[in-house]
Amino acid sequence: MEIKVLKDILSANDQIAERNRALLLAKKVTVLNVMSSPGSGKTSLILETIRALKGRVRIAVIEGDIASTIDAQKVGQEKVPVVQINTGGECHLEAGQVGRALDSLPLDQTDLVLIENVGNLVCPGEFRLGEDKKVVILSVPEGDDKVHKYPLLFTMADAVVITKIDLLPYTRFDVPAFLQAIGGMNPQARVFQVSCTSGEGLGEWVEWVTSVIRK
**Distance between start and end Cα atoms, the chain:** 45
Cα–Cα distance measured from residue 40 to residue 35, given in angstroms and rounded to the nearest whole number: 9
Q: For the segment 34-46, what is each residue's pLDDT rounded down to a tens digit?
A: 999 999 999 999 9
Listed by start position, the domains of the chain span 2-212
Architecture of domain 2-212: 3-Layer(aba) Sandwich (3.40)
Of 172, 179, 211, residue with least CA distance to 193: 179
Cα–Cα distance measured from residue 182 to residue 160, given in angstroms and rounded to the nearest whole number: 9
Cα–Cα distance measured from residue 193 to residue 213, given in angstroms and rounded to the nearest whole number: 21
Cα–Cα distance measured from residue 33 to residue 125, given in angstroms and rounded to the nearest whole number: 10
Per-residue model confidence as pLDDT tens for the chain (215 residues): 344 544 565 788 899 999 999 999 999 999 999 999 999 999 999 999 999 999 999 999 999 887 778 888 999 999 999 999 887 767 789 999 999 999 999 999 999 999 999 888 888 878 899 999 999 999 999 999 999 999 999 999 999 999 999 999 999 999 999 999 999 999 999 999 999 999 999 999 999 999 999 88
The pTM of the full predicted model, rounded to 2 decimals, is 0.92
Cα of 180 vs its chain's centroid, Å: 22
Cα–Cα distance measured from residue 143 to residue 175, given in angstroms and rounded to the nearest whole number: 10
* Exposed/middle/buried for residue 10 (C-beta within 10 Å: 0-12, 13-18, 19+): middle
CA neighbours closer than 13 Å in the CB half-sphere of residue 25: 8
